[in-house]
């Protein structure tokens, strides 16, 4: 005879997910954070790598730039006998560091070298401040001789060639530098090769990647400056860059560029920032980039501040300019995706979709952004229905007509967004795919997303990629340890001893990471994975055991939370009952530490509701009862078994959920909405298996009520309901006033898990397909370095 107090093994093994039975959640979270951050910080010099990104994310932050100020200082007056802006030379001579360099504390070593050389060239150009020049030369001599060519791997193509171009200028000015050292030779040789390859390029302005073109000073001797005006803004700036605009003015004496530079110095005094103005679309493109690299959690505060500012101050502009349209669409998508209330009727969508002249001008990038925004459609938003239809047609046509001359990266992005709906994207997994695409091996090519980058983001690109790869590798190591512990829990729980029980450890954990990827969320991942495995085992048990009497005893065991009630039942039933009760007890103990109260009554009730619904379905099968569609849904949304998974895991996502929150009807409405969506989606995916096993489904119920329909027609009808419910659920998940953030986060993660498992008519839990196996292997076990071609 055994009771709940005598079965401690599964719970004890569950605790091993956190490393040891006596390790508290807070201690383990801190250990995990230290493990990840110490490795990441060491690899990419995070303090400097992160601070300039934080500055780039601040809408009103304009730190002064020695590099850009130096380029402005190089501009001659109309007579050519002196500087046009002598105050910039005074600023340079007054702002040299004690070590002889120019730059700020957050600059990387390479940034310091580039800024110092730019300042040195400007001073030498006008024979100004010889003492500063001498100290700058001494700094650069030591810096260049201490560098290795490997140190250039985290340097963007634009900044690489900007430094190389400055070395050529320094040589012409007879500045004393170690030109024969390996790094300097490497820079100059590679730069010469690039310039040679670009000379004579047809329509260089259109064919050159923005990785290089946004740094025109680095290729100033091959750019057709008379054609550059098409890239110049109405305010006169080029790429919001004072350095690029200064170079433009030196080459063309363009009056708009001069007005821009004069305005900067009027505003900032005798120096200029690295970027002005900051365009919202550029900041949002950077946020999108950080999210797709799965490193946005390091910039949570800055991202939140940007979105809060936009939500208060954004007023949509109605303009036929394509670039403005793209910006407006990006703003709409960012606000809605992050849960801010914004309506497409007041946005640029009406202009994009209703004005034929605008449609003719829209290119691949605008259509991609239009499609991504239309995926966030709420029920009744016809303008987004139209936008999705139009953009889908346009993008599909682009794919079908793609030629070798088209950008392979853009075509890959189009194919990806069409193949993987918004709900289907497991963000940590997507980061792996995104990093594959976002490489810097070919400086003349760029990914689709880079077309929306600002110059400052281009400059940070390689460091962000390195940071993301290190973050991925460190998390991957942590996930491997957790998987080992979870595998021990499965073994000691004895679920794997029975051939009829599916083994969804890896798919379950993959979806858990999609909900809670941060290292400190180990308990949330454990809760999600354990609950998924347990509900799968119970579901398989109810399918396997034909004795309804035994199943009723199982239900009564859960109702009373007493294992003695099943002591005379079959071995599989006893083992699964023991594993469930013991492991749920463990989760109850852990959640009480976080929430500050006992939630065992809720967890037990969620399990009871589940097994009662499963028993009802088992009784239908035993009696031959054929339920109506409504009767089927009323039971099957509960038997879909999300109750013990998502509501339980939300208590581990970092926020306190009070008893008053649990009384909110929206909390439970969302539970039913997602569960119903999942049940219908699952029925469409497992139609053949259900038919062979004689199981009731929404499709068979629909066919009985509509006898004129074939099985395929009935499935199509249910698929229509799936799409309708997806939009309904999305409108709730993205509504900031609807229930609590961790609740919405948990259910959005489940929506993505359901799409990933069932969207392509494959039940990933019962028959892990080759594609899913490949994803699991790459994500959890294949080092990210091996992805580099």
Q: What is the CATH number of the domain that holds 260?
A: 1.50.10.160
The answer as to whether 53 is a domain residue is: no
pLDDT score, position 497: 92
Rounded to whole angstroms, how far apart are CA atoms 597 and 40? Answer: 36
Rounded to whole angstroms, how far apart are CA atoms 143 and 135? Answer: 12
119 and 243 co-located in one domain? yes
389 and 537 co-located in one domain? no
pLDDT score, position 214: 87
The answer as to whether 7 is a domain residue is: no
pLDDT score, position 422: 79
Residue 403: how many other CB atoms lie within 10 Å = 6
The answer as to whether 440 is a domain residue is: no
Rounded to whole angstroms, how far apart are CA atoms 463 and 284? Answer: 18
Whether the Cβ atoms of residue 263 and residue 256 lie closer than 8 Å to each other: no
Picking from 425, 455, 482, the residue at the C-terminal end of a domain is 425
Picking from 214, 237, 268, the residue at the C-terminal end of a domain is 268
The answer as to whether 674 is a domain residue is: yes
The answer as to whether 199 is a domain residue is: yes
Residue 293, phi then psi, degrees to nearest 5: -85, -5
Rounded to whole angstroms, how far apart are CA atoms 387 and 390? Answer: 5
In sequence order, which residues have a C-beta less than 8 Å from that of residue 43 and are 6 or more positions away?
466, 467, 470
Q: Which domain holds residue 76?
A: 64-268
Segments in 710-740 forming alpha helices (H): 711-733
Average pLDDT, the chain: 85
206 and 351 co-located in one domain? no
224 and 93 co-located in one domain? yes
600 and 719 co-located in one domain? yes
Q: Which residues in the chain come in under a pLDDT of 50?
A: 1-12, 14, 18-48, 356-361, 786-789
CA distances from 789 to 235, 250, 440, 462, 735 (A): 42, 40, 11, 16, 42
208 and 356 co-located in one domain? no
Rounded to whole angstroms, how far apart are CA atoms 139 and 488? Answer: 57
- What are 232's strand-pairing partners? 238
Q: What is the CATH number of the domain that holds 341?
A: 1.50.10.130
pLDDT score, position 328: 84
The answer as to whether 291 is a domain residue is: no
Rounded to whole angstroms, how far apart are CA atoms 486 and 491? Answer: 9
418 and 476 co-located in one domain? no
256 and 382 co-located in one domain? no
The answer as to whether 44 is a domain residue is: no
Picking from 362, 392, 425, the residue at the C-terminal end of a domain is 425
pLDDT score, position 34: 38
What is the domain count for the chain? Answer: 3
> Which of these, 165, 460, 429, lies nearest to 299 by C-alpha position?
460
The answer as to whether 42 is a domain residue is: no
pLDDT score, position 8: 39
Please state whether the predicted TM-score (pTM) of the whole model is above 0.75.
yes
pLDDT score, position 637: 97
> Which of these, 421, 405, 648, lies nearest to 535 by C-alpha position?
648
237 and 354 co-located in one domain? no
pLDDT score, position 519: 93
486 and 419 co-located in one domain? no
pLDDT score, position 550: 95
> Which of these, 409, 420, 486, lies nearest to 444 by C-alpha position?
409
Q: What is the CATH number of the domain that holds 654?
A: 1.10.600.10
406 and 482 co-located in one domain? no
> Which of these, 210, 262, 686, 742, lies nearest to 528 by C-alpha position?
742
pLDDT score, position 407: 61
| Peptide bond just before 277 cis, omega within 30 deg | yes
Rounded to whole angstroms, how far apart are CA atoms 89 and 509? Answer: 59
755 and 639 co-located in one domain? yes
Instruction: Quote the tokens at residue 159.
Output: 């900044």
CA distances from 599 to 202, 528, 750 (A): 69, 16, 22
């Amino acid at each position: 005879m055994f009771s709940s107090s005598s079965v401690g093994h599964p719970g004890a093994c569950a605790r091993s997910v956190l490393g040891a039975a006596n390790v508290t959640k807070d201690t383990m979270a801190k250990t995990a954070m230290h493990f990840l951050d110490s490795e990441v910080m060491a690899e990419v010099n995070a303090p400097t790598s992160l601070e300039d990104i934080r500055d780039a994310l601040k809408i009103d932050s304009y730190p002064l730039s020695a590099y850009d100020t130096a380029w402005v200082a190089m501009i001659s007056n109309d007579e050519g006998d002196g500087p046009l802006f002598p105050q910039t030379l005074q600023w340079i001579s007054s702002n040299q560091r004690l070590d002889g360099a120019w730059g700020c504390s957050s600059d990387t070593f390479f940034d310091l070298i580039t800024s110092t050389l730019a300042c040195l060239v400007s001073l030498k150009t006008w024979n100004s401040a010889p003492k500063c020049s001498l100290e700058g030369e001494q700094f650069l001599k030591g810096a260049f001789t201490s560098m290795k060519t490997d140190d250039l791997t985290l340097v963007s193509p634009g900044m690489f060639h900007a430094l190389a171009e400055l070395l050529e200028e320094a040589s012409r000015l007879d500045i004393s530098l170690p030109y024969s050292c390996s790094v300097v030779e490497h820079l100059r040789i590679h730069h010469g090769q690039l310039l040679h390859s670009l000379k004579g390029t047809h329509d260089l302005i259109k064919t050159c990647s923005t990785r290089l073109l946004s740094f025109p000073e680095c290729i100033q001797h091959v750019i057709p400056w008379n054609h550059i005006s098409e890239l110049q803004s109405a305010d006169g700036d080029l790429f919001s860059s004072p350095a690029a605009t200064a170079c433009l003015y030196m080459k063309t004496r363009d009056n708009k560029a001069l007005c821009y530079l004069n305005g900067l110095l009027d505003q900032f005094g005798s120096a200029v920032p690295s970027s002005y103005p900051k365009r919202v679309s550029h900041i949002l493109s950077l946020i999108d980039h950080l999210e797709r690299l799965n490193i946005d959690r390091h910039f949570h505060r800055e991202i939140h501040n940007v979105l809060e500012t936009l939500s208060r101050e954004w007023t949509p502009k109605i303009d036929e300019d394509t670039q403005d349209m793209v910006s407006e669409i990006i703003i709409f998508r960012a606000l809605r995706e992050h849960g801010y209330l914004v309506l497409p009727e007041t946005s640029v969508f009406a202009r994009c979709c209703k004005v034929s002249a605008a449609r003719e001008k829209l290119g691949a990038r605008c259509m991609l952004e239009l499609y991504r925004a239309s995926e966030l459609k709420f029920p009744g938003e016809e303008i987004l229905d139209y936008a999705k239809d139009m953009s889908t047609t346009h993008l599909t046509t682009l794919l079908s007509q793609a030629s070798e001359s088209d950008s392979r990266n853009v075509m890959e992005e189009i194919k990806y967004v069409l193949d993987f709906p918004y709900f289907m994207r497991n963000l940590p997994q997507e980061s792996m795919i995104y990093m594959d695409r976002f490489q810097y091996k070919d400086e003349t090519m760029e990914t689709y997303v880079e077309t929306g980058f600002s110059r400052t983001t281009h400059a940070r690109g390689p460091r962000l990629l390195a940071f993301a790869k290190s973050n991925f590798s460190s998390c991957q190591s942590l996930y491997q340890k957790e998987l080992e512990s979870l595998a021990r829990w499965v073994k000691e729980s004895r679920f794997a001893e029975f051939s009829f029980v599916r083994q969804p450890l890896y798919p379950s954990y993959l979806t858990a990471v999609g909900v809670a990827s941060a290292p400190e969320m180990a308990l949330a991942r454990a809760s999600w994975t354990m609950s998924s495995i347990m509900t799968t085992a119970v579901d398989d048990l109810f399918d396997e055991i034909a004795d309804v009497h035994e199943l009723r005893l199982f239900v009564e065991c859960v109702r009373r939370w007493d294992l003695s009630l099943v002591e005379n039942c079959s071995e599989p039933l006893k083992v699964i009952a023991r594993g469930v009760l013991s492991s749920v007890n463990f989760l109850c103990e852990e959640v009480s530490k976080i929430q500050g109260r006992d939630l065992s009554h809720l967890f037990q009730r969620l399990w009871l509701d589940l097994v009662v619904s499963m028993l009802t379905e088992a009784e239908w099968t035993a009696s031959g009862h054929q339920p109506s569609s409504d009767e089927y849904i009323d039971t099957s949304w509960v038997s879909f078994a999300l109750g013990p998974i998502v509501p339980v895991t939300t208590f581990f996502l970092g926020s306190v959920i009070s008893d008053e929150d649990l009384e909110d009807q929206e909390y439970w409405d969302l539970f039913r909405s997602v569960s119903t969506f999942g049940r219908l989606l699952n029925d469409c995916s497992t139609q053949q298996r259900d038919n062979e096993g004689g199981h009731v489904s929404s499709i068979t119920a629909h066919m009985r009520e509509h006898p004129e329909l074939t099985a395929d027609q009935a499935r199509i009808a249910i698929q229509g309901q799936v799409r309708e419910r997806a939009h309904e659920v999305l409108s709730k998940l993205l509504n900031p006033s609807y229930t609590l953030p961790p609740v919405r986060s948990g259910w959005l993660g489940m929506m993505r898990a359901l799409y990933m498992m069932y969207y392509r008519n494959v039940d990933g839990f019962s028959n892990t397909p080759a594609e899913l196996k490949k994803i699991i292997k790459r994500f959890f076990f294949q080092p990210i370095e091996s992805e580099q071609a």
